[in-house]
Amino acid sequence: MARARGERRFYKPLCRWLVRRGYYCGQQTSTYWGKIKWFTDRGTKAQRVDVAGVRSIGTNCADEMEIVAVEVRSKGLIRTRDLSDAQDFRQFAHLAYLAAPVKFPDRVVRAAEERKVGLIQISRGKRPRFEEALRAPKMEPESRTRMLEFLKSLEVFQCTLCQCFFPIWTRLNVEIPRSGKSFSELKRTKLSSILNKRLDPFEIVDKGLIVGSDLRISRYICPLCAADLTRILQKQLRLPVPHKVKA
């Protein structure tokens, strides 16, 4: 396989660095060939994140995720644009960083501070090393919708029922094939979006009409809820036990 070039050669080592700092970067996901699908080059078409990590920061009452997103540069010269790109990550991430193989000059550190962006210094060498030159302030993402969208690109979903976050690769049952996915995806008509479309919401629900993809939403149920639902349904659907006929 060709060796990663340019900034991409820093992606995997940076993932491992984040893992050592307590983040999950896709270690449990793997391709058919058994290679780890690291959290690199993820996000939407319009906005890609070079390297990302997540960790659970919830309590017993609420499950919450913390997202760190890193913009990686292979060049030593840092432009304002590079910092803006990292700053944009704050729409969906709690921590945004710019990583580059450079000792960041004071003007860059000041500009990064203003933009609430952290800096990671990369030391070149046979094995690149990373050092946090400026700690990113932890902030709530600007948009929770964007946050959930980004998590989806990492194959992490929030359960509609219990609100816990879970990776779609969670496998509770070894019978689920390696290439399979254990999450349950439900397609729903986005009822609010048909208000102006002369469609009768009740008709859609009653007849189970299929609407266009722009009118649909997806909902996810974690494997634990899926198992519990199955158990509840089985219990409710059980037919009454017939009386024994006396001999």
Question: Which residues contribute to the site for Zn ion (CB under 5 A)?
Answer: 159, 161-162, 222, 225
Looking at beta carbons only, is 72 or 221 nearer to Zn ion? 221
Least separation in angstroms between residue 184's CB and Zn ion is 10
Least separation in angstroms between residue 168's CB and Zn ion is 13
Least separation in angstroms between residue 63's CB and Zn ion is 9
Looking at beta carbons only, is 54 or 222 nearer to Zn ion? 222
Looking at beta carbons only, is 66 or 183 nearer to Zn ion? 183
Kindly report the three-state secondary structure assignment for every residue of the chain: CCCCCHHHHHHHHHHHHHHHCCCECCCCCECCCCCECCCEEEECCCCEEEEEEEEECCCCCCCCEEEEEEEECCCCCCCHHHHHHHHHHHHCCCEEEEEECCCCCHHHHHHHHHHCCEEEEEECCCCCEEEEEECCCCCCCCCHHHHHHHHHHCCEEECCCCCCEEECCCCCCCCCCCCCCCCEEEEEECHHHHCCCCCCHHHHHHHCCCCCHHHEEEEEECHHHHHHHHHHHHHHHCCCCCCCCCC
Looking at beta carbons only, is 18 or 225 nearer to Zn ion? 225
Least separation in angstroms between residue 162's CB and Zn ion is 3
